[in-house]
Structure 1
């Protein structure tokens, strides 16, 4: 059984703005989905994805995988340290207005976070952390807002 999924009309303008060189790879991502009937349900058994960083379909699949893995990690952390507490920390810096400025700013942000985790009081009380970098674009002035989300 074949099912065609079309989402290119939404993604290609975004990719054109970003001047993404491999937009043609993303266009065909996940177009062919083959299912097998198992009992009363259909199960996806074969498909082809592009695995590109800016592909919305591949990023959605990656986020689903990461979410599942995070649930397992948190469950294991709670089992090992039942008295442990979680803290959600967001660290941000001033917006960057160019790609080079963004690169420098991200390096500084990462370096500062690594330095924070090496402080004696932090290492004494910290069981572990999960860090994620997020970059959003301000549509009014085109600047980049970079920040770290950290689960401590």
Structure 2
């Protein structure tokens, strides 16, 4: 038992931060925390022990914010209650190679819970990286392209019908002769955002459209296409032709916006560009900022409530061809999958101790709580 004051704890944390990789707390520090009681009034945050795990605070605080929005509408009170319980505690094991390794947590699985979406995207990315590593061994000459498909922004009340129409249109597209000749596998995700202000010149952080931001939605597909080498020769499809094909499959009388680009490394990057394409494809179904945008405004909240109704039980991930089994569907993802997201760079074997961190919104994140250690 150490002295009844904070000096010893603070000195150990300070020593850790100054002399040790901040992502990997030393074995001595972990032993010290596990074997001793915390003095009254002393908080040890997860972020102070493991800098890489500070992201838990960011996501969990956002989950609390979304929960409060749901709580304002009696229709969604149950979602709010589930989100309040989501990842309320995290229990970590320890090894000297990777530091703290998550071993226990409970997730709410509400579609728009930021924490759950984050854990799912980590899992999907890991699965896709593994699939890609296998595919390039068996099909080394194949290439990958990144495709984005859109259409005119529908009223938010028509979103469900629009998404169903887009899915049927996609099924028509993949049966087209030109598509089948070149594309040997694909991974497609759906994203829905608020319409952005066309007058905003900032391309990276576009502001929400002041006219349609609370009345319409911007649904679009992000697709990774695995193409035969012939795609860059006799089977090449120009951007204009992609537009024509997508418009025809949508059965519309205007040219929709389509973006098509070859996956290639960015300048100075040490990979082939696939990680960036995977990250762009397998991201949030709806950006957190779009969910909480102008949340004090009842009309803005109503947009989010209607988004929740319109997307209920819809699938936002699809795969086909040689990439058909690349990802797990939402319904097939288990709580254990969301704990161990499949990061091959991390050694998951740890000691038998479990260090507990509890989420305290009032304190801004996760704090060490030895009362629930194992």
The TM-score bracket by the shorter chain reads 0.7 to 0.9
Question: Which of 176, 184, 197 matches 1:127?
Answer: 184
1:15 aligns with 2:88: no
Q: Distance in 1 between matches of 2:95 and 2:113?
A: 30
Unaligned regions of 5+ residues in structure 1, if any?
A: none
Change (3 A) 1:60 1:73: same
Q: Distance in 1 between matches of 2:72 and 2:152?
A: 24
C-alpha contact (below 8 Å) 1:92/1:146 kept by paired residues? yes
Q: Report the equivalent of 1:102.
A: 159
Provide the secondary structure at the position in 1 that maps to 2:140. Answer: coil
- Displacement of 1:3 in angstroms is 7.1
The number of residues matched between the two structures is: 151
Question: Which of 137, 150, 175 matches 1:118?
Answer: 175
- Displacement of 1:9 in angstroms is 4.6
- Displacement of 1:79 in angstroms is 1.6
The structure with higher relative contact order (CA 8 Å, sep 6+) is 2
Provide the secondary structure at the position in 1 that maps to 2:94. Answer: strand
C-alpha contact (below 8 Å) 1:35/1:45 kept by paired residues? yes
Q: Deviations over 1:9-55 (max 9, x none)?
A: 53234435786341111012111111223347222221111121111
C-alpha contact (below 8 Å) 1:37/1:43 kept by paired residues? yes
Q: Distance in 1 between matches of 2:109 and 2:103?
A: 18
1:71 aligns with 2:120: no
Structure (1/2) with the larger strand percentage: 1
Change (3 A) 1:37 1:121: closer
Q: Deviations over 1:88-142 (max 9, x none)?
A: 111101111132x111211111111111110122212211100001100234322
TM-score (norm 2): 0.37
Q: Report the equivalent of 2:217.
A: 144
Provide the secondary structure at the position in 2 that maps to 1:146. Answer: strand
Where has structure 1 moved over 6 Å in runs of 4 or more? 1-4
Q: Rg bigger for which structure? A: 2
Aligned-CA RMSD value: 2.5
TM-score (norm 1): 0.85
Question: Which of 72, 76, 83 matches 1:26?
Answer: 83
